[in-house]
Amino acid sequence: MNYRDASEYYARFGVDTDAAIKRVSEIPVSIHCWQGDDVRGFENPDGDLTGGIQTTGNYPGRARSISELREYFDLATSLIPGKKRINLHAIYLDNGGEYVGRCDIEPKHFDSWIDWAKVRGLGIDFNPTCFSHKMSESGLTLSSPDKEVRDFWIEHCKRSREIAAYIGKRLGNTVITNYWVPDGYKDTPADRYGTRRRLEESLDEIFREPVSPEYNKDAVEGKVFGIGVESFTSGSNDFYLGYAVKNQILLTLDAGHFHPTEVISDKISTALLFAPEILLHVSRPVRWDSDHVVIYDDELRAIACEILRTGEEGRVHIGLDYFDASINRIAAWVIGTRNMQKALLYAALEPSALLREYEVSGDFTSRLALMEELKTFPFTEVWRHYCETQNVPYDGEWLAAVKEHEHQILSKA
Ligand code: RNT
Ligand code: ZN
């Protein structure tokens, strides 16, 4: 079977494969810079990762400088089809080798990223970094009872937001800024209400000044728990659902941030009804929020199908969020991002009109039969064609380039 045969096959079910490819090629996937260096950043590359998140593994070849990270990213993106963005954290600033604190960061510290992204036609997304810092040692930042601590992080977040708007303006491409704070308590709190009220007040202060949505949009990310804060998370998922809906800002759904049998694929439709837009952190939790590399599994396909079934992909921003230090960092990017693209293509090839027809007419037998058989439709031919038209290698053909690069850097080290 070749692409044309596959195309005819799908056409029998009312699916236009060329249109599906076009649709998918226009959906950007924001690739998280932090997979390249195990979430260390360049503010203080020797610092520890804190905040209840962890990278495990000691595979050699972590990026140690901005130039290495960019070089790795370039190699990764040359092996990934589709539209790409880069997702930066504040600690990935370009400080020219001189320490710049979280409350001293300025737009100029991201100029070199903007220039770099511009040449490549990449959009940028942004995150304040409210962890891996002595002011977050208590486990609380924006919801801390200590006003000095709260003010510090409010200032950092405000500056991050300004930087994001500056980046968006200079690129002519809206930045999505995601706010995640690690705040919580290891043990049962005595004042959940007060802690959450402080978080709300801090966020209100951060978002007080309006920013043009052409340059920046804000998203808030909740979670169920983190390591060391098992009993209580200030920014729980309900907290941020309420906050995002009340303030009509973006809600972030991270695949690893819910109870183990809850899935974000089921939450997309609800979030889109009440929040103006959403940001996804596509990740893979294994028994906990372990941030494993995204694989081509049922939930990934379900996420992609849900996005496209709503027809609201313009209101869904897809970002990846995982960090694995036990394998080659570039391969981790390529595997996870190609899988996201693959899932989007799979979703775009779904005969949605037909499936809906079955559903409204109560023919659940046909709905189930078709949904199952779609799994073995000649998808790989369409995927191959997509990779070809995007000038990237097909499956089984990209790893050699990563291995070759690994060989080079390790022999230099
Ligand atoms: C942590 C959140 C958050 C971080 C990144 C580094 O649980 O998922 O999004 O992973 O900001
Ligand atoms: Zn996340």
At residue 101, the pLDDT reads 97
What does the DSSP 8-state code read for residue 306? H
Q: What is the pLDDT of residue 45?
A: 76
Q: In a 3-state reduction of DSSP, which class is residue 284?
A: strand
Query: Considering the entire predicted model, what is its pTM?
Result: 0.97
Two tokens at 43? Answer: 């503010």
User: Over pLDDT 70: what percentage of the chain?
Assistant: 100
Cα distances (angstroms) measured from residue 88 to each of 6, 40, 94, 103, 313? 39, 12, 11, 17, 22
Distance CA 15, CA 88 (A): 37
Q: What DSSP letter does each residue of 154-173 carry, written as one string? A: HHHHHHHHHHHHHHHHHHTS
C-beta 254 within 6 A of ligand 1: yes
- Of the candidates 176, 177, 250, 241, the residue with the CA atom closest to the CA atom of residue 28: 176
Residue having the nearest C-alpha atom to atom 9 of ligand 1: 180
180 in catalytic set: yes
- pLDDT tens digits, one per residue of 219-260: 999 999 999 999 999 999 999 999 999 999 999 999 999 999
Distance from residue 389's CA to the centre of ligand 2 (Å): 31
Task: List the chain residues with pLDDT less than 70.
Answer: none
Task: Read off the pLDDT of residues 277-298 as tens digits, 9 standing for 90 and up.
Answer: 999 999 999 999 999 999 999 9
Verify whether residue 281 is a known catalytic residue: yes
Query: Is 191 part of the annotated catalytic residue set?
Result: no
Distance CA 344, CA 174 (A): 22
Structure tokens at 40: 């260390």
Q: Where are the alpha helices (DSSP H) in 78-146?
A: 111-120
